[in-house]
Structure 1
Amino acid sequence: MDKKNFLSLLKRYQDGNTTPEEEQMLLNYLESFKAHQEDSWPLELGNSEELKNDILTGILQNIKKDKSSAHINRRFPYSNLFRYAASIVLIAGAFYFFHEMYETPKNGLRNQEVDDSIVLKLENGNTSVITENDNKDIMDSHGNVVGVQSGNTITYGKAKKELKELVYNELTVPLGKKFDLVLSDGTSIKLNAGSTIKYPVRFVETTKRVVQIWGEAFFDVTKDEARPFQVIANNVQVEVLGTKFNVSSYPEDDDISTVLVEGSVKLSSNSAKTEENSFMIVPNQKASWNKENETMTIEEVETDIYTSWINGRMIFKNIPFKNIRKKLERRYNVTIINNNKALDEKFYNASFDIETIEQVMKAFKENYSIDYEIADNQIIIN
């Protein structure tokens, strides 16, 4: 969100015409806003400290009010505020502090609308919040349009002239959310909750197409024999020409896994403790790289189990509960504390799609006699 859109949104907030989602965008922008130079304070606005206190008072009053109230009047006492973007810097830190103090629910699960946001990091380190129902241009640090956001998808365009140097963006999807990405070569990527991907805004014609992933993503790669596509996931490199596959590389997991749906892929590792450091898999196979042993295992699998998350489903088939816990935490952005350690090693079958976390845990309790309680966004299993 640029300065112009920010001021426009702030004006709408002042008039009481913003949605809770837009208010969250405003809060996130204020949190990340940094002043690059010290602007002189306009004399016509009066004393800066008095203005700052008036604004903060208005913010506190509105934050404490019931969110369901229609069109709360948020008028501040100075009508010329919006002519001076630099004055917003004065209240950014305090605004975020008071928001956190009064907006965090005290009981039950957190409201996902006021939780972590999807964040796009540009090549110069600047970040912007991505709102899932937004439609806007994606700019680089020089103000050039490099892509378009349409809802929960960002699509990057092809370069109008040949590039000699790669420029990277980084997209982070928090727990409890998913997001789609289309690269400049047409490759489609679906990012699962708790994932980050680093990728070139546009690819260079003479080099491999390389991206890095932390977390989980499903790739549908556009075929280009002259430029292989490579995914780097921790210590594993997955190389393809054109294919569909799922990569899971969460830091807390023991393994980095690649499940092939279509085509073929070559996996390699510089630290493989075998005579070979590269492996080929075919459709319906999963390659798992063990981080501790630094060894690769390949097995036949049902790919639907590993790609169902794309369509909002979770399928567990003969899966240990410790792995189920991790997936539930990512999907619903909750913390699960298991005091029944023997439970972690038991294997279960289950499938869910539109259920809430409360319904999921109720199903486990009814079918597998798992005792639990929910408190302060934590699920405690006894």
Structure 2
Amino acid sequence: MDKELFKNLIHKVENGTATDEELSTFNAYMNRLSTGQNSAFSPIENEDAIRDEMWANLQAAITPVKTRRLNWYIPVGIAAVLLLGISIGIHFLTANPTPEKEWQAQVDHDIKPLGNAATLTLANGKKIILTNRVGGVLAVQQNAVIHQTAGGQISYTDADKSRGSVAFDTLTTPSGAVYNLKLGDGTTVWLNASTSLRFPESFPSGKRELQLLYGEAYFEVAHRANAPFSVRTTQGLVEDIGTHFNIRAYADEPTEKTTLLEGSVRITAQNKIQAKLVHGQQAQLNHTAVKSLNVINVDLDEIMAWKNGLFLFDNEKLSSIMKKIAGWYNVKVAYQNDAIKNEVFYGSISRFKNVSEVMDMLERTGNSHFELKNNVIFIKPKQ
């Protein structure tokens, strides 16, 4: 690849127009740079000059690179960091890739995520198993007619009957599955894996309240000025003021996180701690013995990766990555030593790959060896 082609490749990655093969090539060059001279950019403001310097460092750092087609891509944000010239030595994918040897994870059996799957429990206790089957009417209740659409969504519409008392249904997803729900008021909710949401079949009064029993869900609320919308969790209440927001509230995590993508929300905990969020902010509620509510700015791409069908790693330790993988594929993880947990990765891969493919990507680009036996992923240093 000559200089101009290289600079054109950077443009494509930055603009999000690069093909998978071009992204693979870019990844391979960045990996080789990170094991080369590790020289930092000088303080150059002109982006074209930065690319020139990247090219010069690349020529000094590499021999001809033989690229492998990997299902990883560099997030636009990381590409921008490279172009801003923070450091040629920034580690992409992992600190010390081993291109000289083809590594492959070992599995005794493979695990495929379920995709779109959930269980709908009606107010009368009847359970309906939801998959990607052909759409149609699932149930006719006193307050609503429930439809399923092809592609993983259930939709509620008001029944043409006199409403009695409000009935509540519950939608629950297992490990390795997501599902989409459209409420009778037009609000749409996406449920992540291992999540349970309790909601009314209809909204006859001026108040709309749902309960996130556990897990993670993203809400796009149909705003109604005379009918406030709120989501209750085990730790508090999230009140909508015309907004899109994400709540993460897994029981095995010490912090409940509410992230705002559009509009505004008000968080109330313990009936006294309050915070109001604006775009790009996250409220972190610690539900240990000492209650605290902190507000920080976050990377929305990272927060919403699950909804977009991705595992997204941005300078993330292997221990954190494997917690996500273990929860999604319903497996356990065992490390040979604690040092392995600190290996750092950048990149992204589809959450709908088989677990063997995810392990293989980590194996090929890292310093650890992965084996899946009896639903346990064993991780040890490469020999």
TM-score range, shorter chain: 0.5 to 0.7
In the alignment, does 2:265 pair up with 1:282?
A: no
Following TM superposition, the consecutive aligned residue runs of length 4 or more in structure 1 with deviations greater than 6 angstroms are none
SS where residue 154 of structure 2 aligns?
strand
CA distance, structure 1, for counterparts of residue 231 and residue 293 of structure 2: 17
| Equivalent residue, structure 2, for 1:246 | 246
CA RMSD of aligned residues (A): 2.6
Which of 1 and 2 has higher RCO (CA within 8 Å, sep 6+)? 2
Structure 1 gap ranges (5+): 1-105
C-alpha deviation, 1:111, in angstroms:
5.7
- CA deviations over 1:241-269 (Å, ceiling 9, x no partner): 32111111111112111111100000111
| Contact 1:227/1:241, CA 8 A, preserved across alignment | no
CA distance, structure 2, for counterparts of residue 171 and residue 363 of structure 1: 33
| Contact 2:112/2:355, CA 8 A, preserved across alignment | no
TM-score by length of 2: 0.64
- Counterpart amino acid of residue 110 in structure 2: L
CA distance, structure 1, for counterparts of residue 135 and residue 187 of structure 2: 21
| Equivalent residue, structure 2, for 1:175 | 175
SS where residue 359 of structure 2 aligns?
helix
| Equivalent residue, structure 1, for 2:287 | 291
- Counterpart amino acid of residue 374 in structure 1: L
| Equivalent residue, structure 2, for 1:199 | 199
| Contact 1:316/1:349, CA 8 A, preserved across alignment | yes
- CA deviations over 1:61-92 (Å, ceiling 9, x no partner): xxxxxxxxxxxxxxxxxxxxxxxxxxxxxxxx
In the alignment, does 2:106 pair up with 1:109?
A: no
| Contact 2:218/2:245, CA 8 A, preserved across alignment | yes
CA distance, structure 2, for counterparts of residue 177 and residue 304 of structure 1: 20
1:111–1:283 Cα change, 3 Å: closer
1:185–1:283 Cα change, 3 Å: same
C-alpha deviation, 1:270, in angstroms:
0.7
Structure 2 gap ranges (5+): 1-106
More helix by share: 1
SS where residue 270 of structure 2 aligns?
coil
In the alignment, does 2:347 pair up with 1:350?
A: yes
- Counterpart amino acid of residue 109 in structure 2: G
Equivalent pairs: percent with the same residue? 27
Matches within 5 A, 1:96-175: 107-110=108-111, 118-140=118-140, 146-151=145-150, 152-160=152-160, 163=163, 165-175=165-175
SS where residue 311 of structure 1 aligns?
coil
CA distance, structure 1, for counterparts of residue 366 and residue 250 of structure 2: 27
- CA deviations over 1:92-127 (Å, ceiling 9, x no partner): xxxxxxxxxxxxxx95134656x9962110112221
Instruction: Report which stretch shifted further, 160-169 or 125-134.
Output: 160-169
TM-score by length of 1: 0.65
More strand by share: 2
| Contact 1:109/1:377, CA 8 A, preserved across alignment | no
CA distance, structure 2, for counterparts of residue 107 and residue 201 of structure 1: 44
Give the length in aligned residue pairs: 271
1:223–1:253 Cα change, 3 Å: same
- Counterpart amino acid of residue 364 in structure 1: L
| Contact 1:165/1:204, CA 8 A, preserved across alignment | no
| Equivalent residue, structure 1, for 2:102 | none
